[in-house]
Structure 1
Amino acid sequence: MSDYVVRVLEEDEKHAAQTVFRGSLHHPPSTDEEWEHAADGYPARRSFGAFRSGRIVGSAQSFGSAMVVPGGKVLPLAAVSRVGVRADHTRRGVLTELMSAQLRQLRELDEPLAALHATESVIYGRFGYGVATRGRTVEAESTRGRTLPPMPSSGEIRLLEPDEMMTVLPGLYERIGLRRPGMMARPESWWRMVVQRRLSLKEHLTVAVHSGPDGDDGFVAYQTSVTPPSEDRTLTVQDLHGTSLGVVLDLWRFLLGVDLVRSVSAWLRPLDEPVELIVPNRGECRTTALGEETWLRLVDVPAALAARSYGDADPVVVEVHDRFLPENAGSYRVGPEGVERTDARADLELPVDALAMLYLGDVSASVLATTGRLTAHDPDALLRADRLFTTGAPPWSGTFF
């Protein structure tokens, strides 16, 4: 790395950073119009570049958000994105230096959590990230014109005009709230990058809003595509949220009844969303894929552990290893009454990436031990840890960035 310099990007270097990032994904450079919207993804002071001989060859950035953790507390979150290294500079430690610089900055910003979506799963575990939420891809046949299982319905559906989307959706998402561990806040820049960009580029996006007795309480954004030569239409869900499971299933019923559509597909939906139970035959709703959703990094381990709630079990002592942020390393007594550092002998020992898998409740301590990601010095502590870290529902984010 002696030939490379990693530093915060100047404003006039960000477009070149976007070109490097897109190139790392085998995409062409952004057009001027595309860059106008992509620029929101490079916040001031949070965008890093790796330089060699004055030319940018790698990038990484983040934007500020927040995530809800078990128990309902909302913690500051760094949403990490646009990470890439030019193909002729990989395997030289460039990415390691970029991620190290970013993690040090996040500590200074007092953001105890960081999250990202990984293009390649093999990359981020070595930097302390672990898969903390997962989702399933659901495909269901259209139900239009057929008798459906009875289900309480408590609202009406209306379609938004394009010029209403940016005024209605941000406030509605905020009203829906962060309802399960792993969900994250969406700053204004997210809405500009995701929704306003599509509208400005004339992409066809349909948004339906669900309204109940107390007003708007859910929404779904979707697109339709045609598969030649049959001309069958597939409706693809881009974003779907509601204040309750009933609202979400009402929106699903609407989607399944849209005319001239053969099937509905939704990517990375919650693992426990029971779409199968609202179609005439369960076999017409299939899980076609299970996938990782959010990779989580505990930037400040003691703060993150202290923020979440725990189940009813005797405390366990957990020893954590963190190569990139050694100040996190050490042992913590975790129990229903709270978390504290301790010099006591560890019951369980694990690296910080495995702790991220455990933290939101996606994977149990027993499973981590069975797969070799956690060492149990006291086997009886595994059952206690399982009860301590359990959550009522699988964690899920529902926001792509």
Structure 2
Amino acid sequence: MSEFLVRAVAEGEQRACLDVLAESLHGKPATDEVWAKMAPSWTAAGKFAAFDEHGAPVGIASSFDVELTVPGGQKLVTAAVDGVGVRADWTRRGILTTMMAVQLEDFAARGVPLAALHASEAVIYGRFGYGAATFGKGVSIERPRARLRDGVGRTGEVRFITPDEAVERVPALYHRFEGARPGFVSRPPAWWPGFFERVVKGDGGYRVAVHSGPDGDDGFVVYQTIDARDRQAPERGAILDIRELHAATPQAWAGLWRFLLSVDLVSEVSGRGRPLDEPIAELLTDPRAVNTTEIIDDLWLRLVDVLAALRARSYGTAEPVVLEVHDKQLPDNNGRYAVGPDGVERTSAEADLRLDVATLSSLYLGHGLFSDLALSGRVEALDEAAVARADVLFHTARSPWCGTFF
């Protein structure tokens, strides 16, 4: 069995590690031009890699710190895991397990209470304590049928901005939305060059439009149009595909949708990863013009410090429950926690419910029900009455949503 060493990435090793990540995801090594654009977002900080006996990287686990809004509005420092991969000729040797263990130990040592990622495969990260905590829906709107109700979205104006203007203005605008709902994450300065600027200044034909209301700019949308015509349907309009849409107020949100649904020569408006509770159909006289095309897992969450995370969020009105939590990777989290509307404490009392940290992580932001997971055996009910209480305690009025890729 070949030997490998997992250690922190040193300055100057980032590009080689990025190439390993690209190869593991069936991509190509970064050209000089691509690397010049990626370098500001791909720093050595927060990266651990596996190196072979010659010092070449063969695996990478990367992260950077953000703030994530939890139920009740508090923002917790969260490690955003943005790149994990192992070179194909080095898989099945324990590299991923070792890197994830080293990464989690680093988060715990730094006092980071949460970690989050977007999973390339849904079967990988549960064994490291991550659970799917936010979901998104795909929508497809039949543009010719999409007539808006009278007065919807008419209180502001929408205008295009250039790519340079978008790079300059949108980060500050996005900051207005942070904390809007559970699951929302901040976008630190290093995020924008790699994940936003490359898109709006790239060759994908993306447009950026900004909504302005009484208090100035209060929403934006990034989209592209895709030609859907062919020989059988030369009259078919384009598909307007939304990459992201954010608004600070309901009026700005409605105004942006009014704009999108009024673009000429468009047959369909589509978007992926929209909030599960986004009421697009309520804007229209014919709600059947809106079709949900998919429901997909979005943000996977990991409680690194269970006590700190549980104490940070708010709870509904119900009698407390005692949760017994099991965590194989971070055994300091093992134990029982009394959770109620007045706070959270470790306790020696008998457990009402028993679950592992991945299951608790998936329920933490308010998506899903303890009662549903009890049916599947992921939550063990030692007191049947406690299941309904836990549902009430962890419920949130708004569906958790992330809305940011990393």
TM-score range, shorter chain: over 0.9
2:226 counterpart residue number: 225
Alignment of 1:157-236 (within 5 A): 157-229=158-230, 230=234, 232-236=237-241
Using the alignment, how far apart are the partners of 1:39 and 1:45 within structure 2? 12
1:24-63 paired onto structure 2 within 5 Å:
24-53=24-53, 54-63=55-64
Contact 2:14 2:44 in 1 (8 A): no
Q: Structure 2 CA distance, aligned partners of 1:300 and 1:238?
A: 33
Does the 8 Å contact 1:141/1:256 carry over to 2?
Answer: no
Deviations 1:256-287 (A, max 9, x none): 11112111111100011111122342222100
Q: Note if 1:320 corresponds to 2:325.
A: yes
TM-score normalized with structure 1 length? 0.96
Q: In structure 1, what residue type is equivalent to 2:28? A: P
Give the direction of change, closer, same or farther, for the CA distance of 1:227–1:331 in structure 2 (3 Å limit): same
Q: 1:141 to 1:312 in 2, by over 3 A?
A: same
| SS state at 2:73 partner | coil
2 CA distance for matches of 1:85 and 1:121?
17
Amino acid at match of 1:97: T
Question: What SS is found at the alignment partner of 1:249?
Answer: helix
CA apart distance, 1:123: 0.5
Kept after mapping to 1: 8 A contact 2:70/2:312? yes
Distance 1:325 1:39 in 2: 32
Partner letter of residue 60 of structure 2?
S
The equivalent residue for 1:84 is 85
**Residues 1:200 and 1:32: Cα distance change in structure 2 (over 3 Å):** farther
User: 5 Å matches for 1:85-104?
Assistant: 85-104=86-105
Residue 122 of structure 2: aligned partner: 121
What is the match of residue 75 of structure 1? 76
| Deviation beyond 4 Å, 4+ runs, structure 1 | none
Deviation of 1:249 after TM superposition, in Å, equals 2.2
Shift in Å, 1:93:
0.9
2:212 counterpart SS class: strand
Q: Which amino acid aligns with 1:57?
A: V
Q: Find the counterpart in structure 2 of residue 241 from structure 1.
A: 246
Q: Distance in 2 between matches of 1:108 and 1:207?
A: 41
Question: How big is the shift at 1:110?
Answer: 1.7
Contact 1:199 1:205 in 2 (8 A): yes
| Alpha-carbon distance in structure 2 between the residues aligned to 1:389 and 1:180 | 14
Q: Secondary structure at the match of 1:388?
A: helix
Contact 1:140 1:285 in 2 (8 A): yes
The amino acid across from 1:300 in the alignment is D
Give the 3-state SS of the residue equivalent to 2:108 in structure 1: helix
- Note if 1:135 corresponds to 2:136: yes
Q: How far does the alpha carbon of each residue in 1:112-160 deviate from its partner, in whole angstroms, 9 at most, with x for none?
A: 111100111110000000000001000112249x753224432111111
Q: What CA distance in whole angstroms lies between the structure 1 residues aligned with 2:210 and 2:147?
A: 24
CA distance in 2, matches of 1:210, 1:200: 20
Distance 1:147 1:346 in 2: 54
SS for the counterpart of 1:234 is strand
Q: Secondary structure at the match of 2:71?
A: coil
Shift of 1:170: 0.6
Q: Could you tell me whether the CA contact under 8 Å between 1:334 and 1:340 is conserved in 2?
A: yes
Q: Residue type matched to 1:241 in 2?
A: H
Aligned to 2:362: 357
Asked if 1:330 is matched to 2:330, the reply is no
Give the Cα separation in 1 of the matches to 2:159 and 2:45.
Answer: 41
In structure 1, stretches of 5+ residues that fail to align are none
The SS at the match of 2:350 is coil
Letter in 2 for 1:215: G
Describe the SS at the equivalent of 2:176.
helix
Contact 2:163–2:201 (CA under 8 A) maintained in structure 1: no
Encode CA deviations 1:348-372: one digit per residue, 9 max, x unaligned: 0100000011100101111111111
Distance across 1 between alignment mates of 2:259 and 2:136: 22
Does 1:259 find its partner at 2:264?
yes
Post-superposition shift, 1:245?
Answer: 3.0
Question: Between the two proteins, what is the percent identity of the paired residues?
Answer: 50
Q: CA deviation at 1:2?
A: 7.4
Query: Is 2:303 the partner of 1:298?
Result: yes
**TM-fit CA distance, 1:227:** 2.5
Shift of 1:39: 2.4
1:29: Cα distance to partner?
1.3
Q: CA deviation at 1:388?
A: 0.5
Size of the alignment, in residue pairs?
400
1:107 match: 108
In the alignment, is the contact (CA less than 8 A) between 1:160 and 1:209 conserved in 2?
yes
Q: CA deviation at 1:333?
A: 0.3
Shift of 1:34: 1.1
Instruction: Give TM-score, length-normalised by structure 2.
Output: 0.95
Query: 1:63: Cα distance to partner?
Result: 0.8
Are the equivalent residues in 1 in contact too, given 2:115–2:304 (CA < 8 A)? yes
- Residue 148 of structure 2: aligned partner: 148
Distance in 1 (CA, whole Å) between partners of 2:177 and 2:77 is 19
The separation in 1 between residues aligned to 2:5 and 2:108, in whole angstroms, is 21
| CA displacement 1:97-124 (0-9 Å, x = unmatched) | 1111111111122211111001111100
d(CA) in 2 for partners of 1:199, 1:387: 42
Which secondary structure state, in structure 1, belongs to the residue aligned with residue 28 of structure 2? coil
Q: Is the 8 A contact 2:147 2:286 kept in 1?
A: no
Distance 1:6 1:334 in 2: 38
